[in-house]
Amino acid sequence: MGRVDGKIALVTGGASGLGKADCELLAAEGATVFIADINGAAAEALAGRIGGSARALTHDVTSEADWLRVYGEIERAHGRLDILVNNAGIVIVANPEDTTLEQFQRAMAVMATGVFLGCKHGLPLLAKSRAASIINISSTASHFGYAPFFAYSAAKGAVRSMSKSVAIHCQEQGYPIRVNTVHPSAIETPMVQAAEGRAGQEQAIPDGVLPAGATGSPRDVANMVLFLASDESRFLTGGEYLVDNGLSIHP
């Protein structure tokens, strides 16, 4: 018996990095996974590798029409949604003085507006679940506000506070929906490879306990997402979960 057996899941930005690891793990633990990504070809390729009931959807999280189309497809196929992982993201490397208005608005569109639209239009479908979970992927940037990732930090801060508002709203409305945020530090994905100037060059992450400052593996985050997606975490809502190997306890 899988830990999310029979659940219906949607993962945005599901074709790469953290989203890909989430899709693989949720599917392995019994969920039907909709892999949504602006890169539809990569989502198709992953769905083919996962097999079973995994399905790919081409989906731009900044587009309200795309959200309505995606939720319409899931509703027709299953009549409900149990797990929403708002994971899609981009990184823009620019400090507060160098960030252009266009860069700022793009970061907010993908990571703040995208999460807003996903929650707003997803609540009616999630409310049809017996026990639903929204997992919004923020970052340690929401706590520390990294200067070289200014717009990214702003957007991730919005995800952190917005998620608490949605969690309270769901409880007040009596919806069976929990909402939590996950805050990873640096994890080895194409985003981090690009930000560190080594695009396409993946570094191996060793097994076992890692030293302070180490980069984590996508599976480290997916394990937290799986727990929050499953009914094991039924008493958790409005919470924020650091997946940072202790980064936040170092002054």
Ligand X SMILES: NC(=O)c1ccc[n+]([C@@H]2O[C@H](COP(=O)([O-])OP(=O)(O)OC[C@H]3O[C@@H](n4cnc5c(N)ncnc54)[C@H](O)[C@@H]3O)[C@@H](O)[C@H]2O)c1
Q: Where are the beta strands (DSSP E) in 113-227?
A: 132-137, 177-184
Among residues 9, 11, 15, 123, which is the contact residue for ligand X, using CB under 6 A?
Answer: 15
Q: Does 19 bind ligand X (CB under 6 A)?
A: yes
Pick the catalytic residue: 71, 152, 175, 241? 152
Give me the count of residues in the chain.
251
Span between the terminal Cα atoms of the chain, in Å: 43
Nearer to ligand X, 8 or 135 (CB): 135
The region that residue 42 occupies, defined by phi over 0 for left and psi between -120 and 50 for alpha, beta otherwise, is alpha
Q: Which of 59, 70, 108, 115 binds ligand X (CB under 6 A)?
A: 59
Q: Smallest gap, in angstroms, from Cβ of residue 130 to ligand X?
A: 28
Is position 110 an interface residue for ligand X (rule: CB under 6 A)?
yes
Tokens, residue 209: 């306990």
CB of 109 to ligand X, least distance (A): 8
Active site residue 152: yes
Which region, judged by CB under 6 A, interacts with ligand X, from 57-65, 68-76, 199-207, 224-232? 57-65
Q: CB-wise, 11 or 175, nearer to ligand X?
A: 11
Distance CA 111, CA 105 (A): 10
Cα–Cα nearest to 8, from 35, 44, 47? 35
Contact indicator for 114, 86 with CB cutoff of 8 Å: yes
* Residues in 184-223 that interact with ligand X by CB under 6 A: 184, 186-187, 189-192
Name which position in 113, 129, 139, 237 contacts ligand X (CB under 6 A): 139
Among 74-82, 164-172, 179-187, 224-232, the segment contacting ligand X (CB under 6 A): 179-187
16 lies in the binding site for ligand X (CB under 6 A): yes
Residue 62 has φ and ψ, to the nearest 5°, of: -85, -10
What is the distance between the alpha carbons of residues 132 and 114, in angstroms, rounded to a whole number?
19
- Which tokens is 242 given? 């650091």
Amino acid type, 127: A
The catalytic residues are 152
- Which residues contact ligand X by CB under 6 A? 12-13, 15-19, 37-39, 59-62, 87-90, 110, 137, 139, 184, 186-187, 189-192
